[in-house]
Amino acid sequence: MPAAKIVFFTDGVSESNRLAREALESCHLSWTEKNISTDAEANAFIRKLCGAPVSPVLYVNDHWLPDPTQEELLEACKVRHDSERLESRGQTIFDVIVVGLGPAGVAACHGARLGGLSVLGLDENEPGGHLLNLTDVDEYLGVGYDDAISGREVADNFAEHARHVGAVLMRGKVNSVRIQGAFKRVHSTAGNFWGRAVIIATGSTQRELKIQGVEAFVNRGIRYGAHVDAAIYKDRRVMVVGGGDEAMHAGIFLGQHAKHVTVLCPDDKPTAEPLLVERAVGHGVRIIPGTKVVAVKGTDTLEFIFFVEKGIPEEQGLPVAAMIIALGPAPKAPIPGLERMPQENGYFAHGEGGKTMFGGIYVAGDCTNIEIRTLMSVVASGSLCAKRMWQWLASNPLPRLKV
């Protein structure tokens, strides 16, 4: 096996430098050393590359390793090849880090791996995102049109497929993403990672119903999203607030469990896809357009809901057992470090393929100003994003050193 060509940028003193030296020595490797504490040129070079005087930084066989673990270093030197060990989280340096493992993020992980890149996907929950809340997925081409398939099953299949092609998917909340020279530094509860590129796929959140009293009854009769536990709605009168796809999905689901389901649609007519409206009505759901909820009342739990209906001057009140708020998505606050990314109505604005104004940072799925928020469109956006990012990496190589 030819000897690895290694340049070791060290500060000469710190513990991580000692460990890197120990790993190289233990394998009888030789290297060229540059001390960034005494060599101004080496120091300036590392500052430019990593955005800070990071050490150790190793250059091994044309690859840059900022602050590598011993496993990563030996792997790059081709001394140890133990893919299981790397998968078991010895690794901290990746070509691409995907933040958020909903359908868009998992599709991005899969696409990036197809480009031959090392990929880490991080999610504060298990992979699946909104999919995990869906009882039945029936609008993804080729899936669930005949026999019902749960969102969890689709989510598990997605994650399994991404892992199958070699993506590392981990649980961890990302607390910040910082550009450091030619790298991105991702700080998470699972550890800190270096990536050449980052794909943000953090999804959206639920739009809140901002009227007095609602907050007091959340989880005491009022819920955001309907798909949690069908049993509590059984044989009861339930109201859904909203008129988009999410409200119709909630109506269709509840129509199979509750006694009466009424959708209070704030607009003059539902904004949901016509077929969904048809299906909701087919499940016995009553839709009242032009209604605005004005108050909720109860003692320990929700008991009454009051609303005004277009064309009827008097306020109306109805007894209800539960109210589901399904007003559709709302943007999330950006992860620290990404606040300067351009936004449109609170969602990340982007160019073709999820490109942003920051080289090597891409965005995909519901966290963007995507026009259609469905499984099919976000999966497509994740895949395209991976492809564009992969092309960006190829046209933005890191500097090469003569060893």
Ligand X SMILES: Cc1cc2nc3c(=O)[nH]c(=O)nc-3n(C[C@H](O)[C@H](O)[C@H](O)COP(=O)(O)OP(=O)(O)OC[C@H]3O[C@@H](n4cnc5c(N)ncnc54)[C@H](O)[C@@H]3O)c2cc1C
- Could you list the residues that contact ligand X (CB under 6 A)? 99-105, 122-125, 129-131, 133-134, 137, 139-140, 173-174, 201-203, 225, 246, 249, 335, 365-366, 373-376, 378
Tokens of 104: 């868009």
Whichever of 75 and 366 has its CB closer to ligand X, that residue is 366
Q: How far is the CB of 309 from ligand X (least distance, A)?
A: 25
> How many contiguous H segments (helices) and E segments (strands) does the chain have?
10, 23
CB 297 within 8 A of CB 306: yes
Q: How far is the CB of 200 from ligand X (least distance, A)?
A: 9
Q: How far is the CB of 270 from ligand X (least distance, A)?
A: 15
CB 29 within 8 A of CB 3: yes
Q: How far is the CB of 354 from ligand X (least distance, A)?
A: 11
Whichever of 56 and 242 has its CB closer to ligand X, that residue is 242
Whichever of 17 and 383 has its CB closer to ligand X, that residue is 383
**How far apart are the C-alpha atoms of 342 and 64, rounded to whole Å?**
30
CB 184 within 8 A of CB 361: yes
Tokens of 294: 């004005």
> Is 57 buried (19+), middle (13-18) or exposed (0-12) by CB count in 10 A?
buried
Q: How far is the CB of 174 from ligand X (least distance, A)?
A: 4
Whichever of 140 and 390 has its CB closer to ligand X, that residue is 140
Q: How far is the CB of 19 from ligand X (least distance, A)?
A: 29
**How far apart are the C-alpha atoms of 143 and 145, rounded to whole Å?**
6
Q: State the DSSP string of 31-89.
A: -EEEETTT-HHHHHHHHHHHSS--S-EEEETTEEEES--HHHHHHHTTS---HHHIIII
For residue 112, report the phi and psi dihedrals to the nearest 5 degrees: -70, -35
Whichever of 216 and 333 has its CB closer to ligand X, that residue is 333
**How far apart are the C-alpha atoms of 181 and 46, rounded to whole Å?**
9
Whichever of 173 and 355 has its CB closer to ligand X, that residue is 173
Q: How far is the CB of 334 from ligand X (least distance, A)?
A: 10
SS3 271: coil
Whichever of 54 and 108 has its CB closer to ligand X, that residue is 108
